[in-house]
Amino acid sequence: MCGIIGCCGVEGAAGALIKGLERLEYRGYDSAGIATISNGKFEIEKKKGRISALKNALKSHRDYAGKIGIGHTRWATHGAPNDINAHPHQSGKFALVHNGIIENYAQLKEQYLKLTNFKSETDTEVIVQLLNRLYSTSCLDAIAKTVKLLEGSFALAILCEDEPDKLYCVRQGSPLLGGVGNGIFAASDITAISDMAEIFYRMDDGEIAEITESNVNFYNFELERVEKERCEFAFEDMRTDKGNCEHFMLKEIYEEPEAIRRTVDAYLMESTIELKLEIDKPEQIYIVACGSAYHAGLVGKKILSELLKIPVTVETASEFRYSNPLLNSKTPVIIISQSGETADSLAALREAKKLGSKTISVVNVANSSIAVESDFVLYTKAGPEIAVATTKAYSAQLAALYLLAIYLAEKFKTAEQAQLDKLKKELKELNKKVSLTLDCEEQIKRLAEELKDIDHAYFIGRGLGYCAAAEGSLKLKEISYIHSEAYAAGEMKHGTISLIEKGTTVIAMNTQAELASKLQSNIDEVRARGAKVFAVTSGIDITADETIITPALHPLLQTSTQIVPIQLLSYYIAKERGCDIDKPRNLAKSVTVE
């Protein structure tokens, strides 16, 4: 989704902005632009398409000598992706870039800007027009007046020609952080500036930063000074190259065993799970997340309810936040998020806190909003994930949820210790089992060649197999653009089986021995109607047109190995189809708007 970078006091600011924008490319975008100030005047360039198009435009125009600037990658919400709607937007002495959505932009136009000639179709332009309109002598004053009128979420980086040595930033509901290095930087995502700054400051909602070459002052919207502590990031985790792989996604699939090992080793010492989580015995647990993180939550539900013997409800964050959930201090809420910035998940977290629940987050990005705002954070140790389609972060989320479930079951003595000891032992070996699963790659490449031209696929499974099916189906559709659906295998005959005809592709996920015969019946039912069935199974006998065998492990942990062949299959099918694997169309890595 949209990305912001800003810098002040940086030689060759345009180069630094482009470098930062390139590091934000993974978030997904459809246009990009920068503005610098040179000799007191703006130089603005923005282009539809990739950053390479912006770079070409910059080369052919001016020399961009300024030491201050702002840059943006836009993921269109209001107005088509084109040069005009791309950021930065300018009005009078102001230029700005914006992440988020201004929900009351139409009212603001009507109330304050009736006579203004708008150049773009964006909600963002309202902000810059308001700044221009409310400006008399002080930028800070105009910014404070403007942001108080805005409803919605916004992170802003603002330049003003009257103060050509200052960069202003605002955060309200969209992430933004500051960094000090050779110059001072601002970015919506640490990745953009991790190798240009050494000291970092996380902005909180309702804050304005006034940045000069040598100093940063923070204010609230009443323009009272706010003191900030620096925050730490683990930089050994920050490598973001593809290594020897053609795509980040493949590299990240190979990194899954390591992501699991690091997550498990961070909390499981010898045979003790060490979490500093203070919590009363829950009566019920809610899990809230989006997309793949929601699918990890489905797995979390199974293991938590099995070991804690209490009801566990999983909901997508976009539904949960508006569902008037019945929460109290006995109903902790677990929020799962790779980025820690997903708007719906963050809103769900805030709602849960408001209603008195203890909030536990499972997050990959240190110091992200969800991590900072939750009562307890269990970090996954997947390292930076660049491909839009999550693989290693999902696997690390599963590992974290296993740890949490076993920890709570031990704490409240809700399961046999022998069972928990066995699970812990298997958890220590999980990375090796996942590593062995990668051996199926050659078989998968052959299958991908066979399946590359299909139009539809159905994933079926029972129990944890259904959880794997849901995630597998999402993986296939998001990167290969093949229509795909996941069903609890027993549900097929209640409607969807009418879509099965000769040659329809069905992928069956088998995780639990006790459900295998039931799944087999469902496989037989679709095969009898002409479906071609590929089954992923862990040594449990399943008859299908082709089986992919994964290493056997404790049934409660089985999703961790089951998903890997499907991630690989999705990858190789997408490759066969020539798709943009790391940046699938229309998708963003971190969904920071509702």
Q: Catalytic positions, please?
A: 2, 589
b/e sequence 261-294, b meaning 16+ C-beta within 10 Å: bbbbebbbeeeebebebebeebebbbbbbbbbbb
CB of 18 or CB of 382, closer to ligand AGP = 382
CB of 340 to ligand AGP, least distance (A): 7
Task: Tell me which DSSP letter residue 209 carries.
Answer: E
The torsion region of residue 360 among left (phi > 0), alpha (psi -120 to 50) and beta comes to beta
CB of 530 to ligand AGP, least distance (A): 31
CB of 590 to ligand AGP, least distance (A): 6
**Nearest residue relative to ligand AGP (C-beta):** 291
What span, in angstroms and rounded, lies between the C-alpha atoms of 422 and 432? 16
365, 366, 368, 371 alpha-carbon torsion, rounded to 10°: 100
Cβ neighbours, 10 Å, residue 563: 31
b/e sequence 177-195, b meaning 16+ C-beta within 10 Å: bbbbbebbbbbbbbbbbbe
- Which residues partner with 483 through β-bridges? 456
CB of 290 or CB of 492, closer to ligand AGP = 290
CB of 253 or CB of 388, closer to ligand AGP = 388
Helical packing angle, 291-308 and 392-411, nearest 10°? 20
b/e sequence 436-450, b meaning 16+ C-beta within 10 Å: ebbebbebbeebbee
CB of 170 or CB of 388, closer to ligand AGP = 388
Alpha-helix residue ranges (DSSP H) falling in 367-512: 369-373, 392-411, 417-437, 441-451, 464-480
Contact 177, 203 (CB under 8 A): yes
Contact 127, 182 (CB under 8 A): no
CB of 240 to ligand AGP, least distance (A): 16
Contact 547, 537 (CB under 8 A): yes
CB of 293 to ligand AGP, least distance (A): 4
CB of 522 or CB of 590, closer to ligand AGP = 590
**CA-based end-to-end distance of the chain:** 12
CB of 62 to ligand AGP, least distance (A): 37
Q: Read off φ and ψ for residue 348, nearest 5 degrees.
A: -65, -40
**DSSP letters for 261-330:** HHHHHHHEETTEE------PPPS-EEEEE-HHHHHHHHHHHHHHHHHH-S-EEEEEHHHHTTS-----TT
CB of 173 to ligand AGP, least distance (A): 15
CB of 337 to ligand AGP, least distance (A): 3
CB of 366 or CB of 552, closer to ligand AGP = 366
Return residues touching ligand AGP (CB under 6 A): 290-293, 337-339, 342, 345, 388-390, 478, 590-591
